[in-house]
Chain A
């Protein structure tokens, strides 16, 4: 529910680097509540599973303590077997339960992540490499699955077992339990210290993986350029560097990570010795304090109990690496999901009145990523239904003007109004499909031609697509395609020529029939004959709609109602072609160069 998302320097993604593990988990649960749903049952199952695992040493202890009397052994076996069945069944149920919930949470994390990638402010999106966003939706989330599948669930059982073992041990012989638990606490404390180092190093790993994905993406997308310039060696060096850097940062996690595991091992084996020696010593040296009174069988059982305390601890220690990796992956995914949405909606958002849209700019300036302003003091009035051409030298701020109108960037100062309403408070839903920009390099999805044209409107039928192509004078072109509308256009429209891709984008826009259409060199690659034909058709189709065409082809300006001439980030001339061409100024120069 945000309105007026106009902040001058937009930050990147949310930064959760300083969040401790506990707050991170809390945040994770808030984002995907399914994780913690029904936790009571989960805890009960874990306790049952843990309890079942502890019964065995107890039965052994009982049997041995009773001198292995046949009746005692039989009884012990029955109880033990029953306990195992309980343990098995509840482990099974727990596994299913936790993994299902985790996977459901991860699925919604991915979906929300992608949704947020589309909702975040365009400036934020521009600051993050797309490969990084992809990493946060894929490999980062996968680390959590890897973790739950390889020990995460056992970690819960083990935790339950640890608690139960402590309780049983304490009931059995508190004198020996106190030092064991104390040792465990010392261990835990020292491990969390080291674990912080490990966490930092894992964060470096994830960041390096994301950088590496960026380099790989560049190598793949830039393949034609790399090939023709024969610079595979250069790219290879970069790829190697990125891969090796990831490897090095992975290797740097090893020493502290396994140091931690080994440390845990020392403490753990000390515990067993402690129990044996202390137990025996204490029984014989009553002067040490309120001595435990242990039989041989009881001491052995105590050793077993310690094992059942120690083994889960050992397991937890061993799983720390995966857990840490998963935690970092989770953090990165959550950073994407918790990045503020720039979508304007809710009670404060205003609607855009129906019909053609008028545009007003008052003293608008804009800059990119906190840099110096690239457009200054833009003051413009575009009447509803007017056809405006924007011309000017390359880099003069024409596309920036277009981005301002479509809220792709936010003004540094001044005000923009569409249909009389401040642009910043118009609901996104009101702008969708009503204010549409057609860029020079439109994006085509890797599906069919027909689907690419119909993409803006879910419920159009094929006839509508054919009609719009016909209206634009492209029926002949369609007829020549062997598969017609079912033609697959390839990755990013690669199987079409560049001009054809632009035509598809035009058809897509014409079908959506927006009230304000901004063409940013939308036909730059289309041959002049087709361009003239299509533009004329488009003008007919968008009759009465407001149109802003940015073009280097001055023919567009000749036909426009009004021409805006940009120079060095300012509008320096406004008027009709006929007037401007005879006046001294940049327009006349541009036109002369064109002619």
Chain B
């Protein structure tokens, strides 16, 4: 089916999905179309029965006067009412359908694979959710109007045929001409509309990227370069729009003037009929009036049809999102057992594109222990963390929690089991309280947290002091991505958020990197105490002494492979690379010395 045909089908579905307003709009549209035919008839009738007799000096009764005024005004009143009702009902369908599609698109974003997200810049996703969805439903604004107009056209043509068959042919030719023109119009417009929508997506992507890049643009004086990058994309939108305009510049006037051409034709043919006595002057006037009125429905119809290619383009882009594969999860639900979890990774490979990021990784973290992952930059630590947290799937091997494949767990069970503090802290632009609590307690039926619980978690993350010092405390709003906080403050809130959820396995990806040594030490000591107190199993990525000192076991990762595992001292003895990393800043202190520092 053609793109336009698909767009029409979508519109039909939209009407079915909102039957109430669609029915009202259709009815109002049809009645409105009817009033236009009636209006023409009323003018014709008034001419024949009132105007001509009066001007000829024949007597006309008051009743005729009132009838003339009444008919015309009555028809207008009905038309006016239907315009209002049709407009409101049409808007209901359009905006409701828009909202429904938009919801579907943005909800899809929540369930698409994270790998998919990585490939799709946020700016473009914004364009899908806003401009493409708008485009899909924009023809609705003309749909019911156009339906009524089709009805009116049929009525007008019938009337025309009854009045004068020869003139009816002119009318038919007119409508046929308009339709043919429209089909050609569509053909030409479709590819251009598609280009336009695509270019709009690119503009949104670049604009978003450039604005997010604000600081580096200022610092390096890239404003000119950014403009140079943006300009061709803006140009592409401009060109696409201008090319659409070039088409419409030809077709719009053509479609608009065609009825007037028909009027002239009718005049040519009709004048002869009138002189021959086959037609009254009133009928001829009525026909001319009708044809001029027909130009309104034809232009509405044309507007409706000309907007379809854009809708089709939007639809294609929206469908691409809705058809993308969602992430799949297991079915095992519930909160699961209590107490620290056992984590095992067995022979896991992670492949992304052509690169193998992890090779046959084996890892076991016993319940209630702290395991540190050490490795150089780019060794694959974050990849391992993502794997363990189910953010990415292994291409070979498996991840087991308490001996059960992670893949078997549903999302809620995972959320109740795992806690992750990522390497780049992310906060929502809402209050601190909302950022911490999110949905509520995942292990206890999403119940709300008490303030005591919130403050305890903040205490462990060493964030209670600064949150307490904020004028609005827990109810302070943190700005986009937590912009109103310092880096270390953001990171501590993320830590508190993870702790609050009482995960059975807590994963920290370099989660103390933005903390000063004193705070870091305090946080790590409290974390260790928590673990010793029956708290979570901890997997932490860290390269520094302080973190290694709280670890029971250390895993050394290099180039995506587990090189060795053991205690800090063992690894330091066995691997020069390892020594390089952990001792780069100091003269090589032992675990015992570290513990002494930690304790003191």
Contact = CB atoms under 8 A, between A and B. Distances in A.
A80 B259 CA distance: 13
Interface stretch (B149-157, B336-344, B370-378): B370-378
Interface string A60-92: 100110001010010011001100100110011
A283 B50 CA distance: 13
B83 interface: yes
| Interface core residue of B103, B131, B245, B292 (most chain A CB under 10 Å) | B245
Nearest to B96: A247
B115 to A, nearest CB: 11
Contact of B480 (A64, A129, A209, A491): A129
Interface residues of A, number: 186
A419 interface: no
Contacts of B249: 91-92, 95-96, 99
B567 interface: no
B547 to A, nearest CB: 12
Interface in A383-427: 391-395, 399, 406, 408
A230 B439 contact: yes
A177 interface: no
Nearest to A228: B420
B537 interface: no
Contacts of A273: 69, 72-73, 76
A442 interface: yes
A55 to B, nearest CB: 9
Given A53-B260, A87-B253, A111-B231, A103 B581 contact: no
Contacts of B87: 254, 257-258, 261-262
Contacts of B478: none
Contacts of B230: 110-111, 114
Nearest to A552: B516
25 contacts: A95-B248, A130-B212, A145-B241, A216-B106, A239-B103, A243-B103, A243-B106, A257-B87, A259-B84, A265-B80, A266-B80, A270-B76, A280-B51, A294-B55, A296-B52, A296-B55, A311-B296, A408-B218, A458-B225, A496-B378, A497-B378, A497-B382, A527-B377, A528-B582, A552-B520
A532 B80 contact: no
Contacts of B91: 250-251, 253-254, 257-258
B138 A269 contact: no
A261 B246 CA distance: 30
A581 interface: no
Contact of B267 (A76, A150, A554, A555): A76
B415 A590 contact: no
Interface in B287-303: 288-289, 292, 296, 303
Interface in B471-490: 479-481, 483-489
A131 B520 contact: no
B242 A482 contact: no
B429 A276 contact: no
Contact of A436 (B219, B226, B250, B428): B219
Interface centre among B110, B256, B390, B580 (most CB of A within 10 A): B110
Given A277-B68, A525-B513, 5 more contacts: A269-B73, A456-B221, A491-B118, A491-B119, A530-B376
Interface stretch (A9-17, A133-141, A188-196): A133-141
Contact of B253 (A56, A63, A92, A114): A92
B173 interface: no
A63 B267 contact: yes
B264 A56 contact: yes
Interface string B277-290: 00001001100110
A404 B462 CA distance: 27
A25 interface: no
B531 interface: no
A530 to B, nearest CB: 5
Nearest to A283: B55
Contacts of A122: 214-215, 218
A531 B581 CA distance: 9
B496 interface: no
B586 A368 contact: no
Interface stretch (B9-17, B201-209, B396-404): B201-209
A445 B209 contact: yes
Interface string A279-300: 1110110000000001110011
A150 B439 contact: no
A250 B382 contact: no
A443 interface: yes
A462 interface: no
Given A134-B207, A244-B99, A446-B121, A555 B585 contact: yes
B585 A528 contact: yes
A207 interface: no
Interface string A302-317: 0110010001001000
Cβ-closest 10 pairs across A and B: A230-B415, A432-B221, A394-B488, A258-B87, A269-B76, A499-B377, A95-B249, A91-B253, A99-B245, A528-B584
Contact of A247 (B95, B296, B442): B95
A558 to B, nearest CB: 9
A531 B43 CA distance: 89
Interface stretch (B122-130, B159-167, B360-368, B451-459): B122-130
Contact of B83 (A220, A258, A595): A258
B527 to A, nearest CB: 15
B181 interface: no
B87 to A, nearest CB: 3
A458 B226 CA distance: 11
A525 B497 CA distance: 21
A553 interface: yes
Contacts of B580: 529
Contacts of A381: none
Nearest to B260: A56
Interface in B439-461: 439, 442
A583 interface: no
B351 interface: no
Contacts of B179: none
A80 B109 contact: no
A595 B256 contact: no
Contacts of B518: 393, 589-590, 593
Contacts of B513: 521, 524-525, 552
Contact of B584 (A126, A283, A508, A532): A532
B122 A394 contact: no
A187 interface: no
B334 interface: no
B257 A87 contact: yes
Contacts of A225: 422, 426
B543 interface: yes
B214 A77 contact: no
Contacts of B234: 107, 110-111
B336 to A, nearest CB: 13
A151 B303 contact: yes
A443 B215 contact: yes
A19 interface: no
A228 B88 contact: no
Contacts of A60: 263, 267, 288
Contacts of B479: 126
A497 B72 contact: no
B207 A269 contact: no
Contacts of B331: none
A115 B73 contact: no
Interface string B93-126: 0011011001100110111001001111111011
Nearest to B46: A276
A512 B225 CA distance: 15
Contacts of A145: 241
Nearest to B271: A68
B301 to A, nearest CB: 14
A410 to B, nearest CB: 14
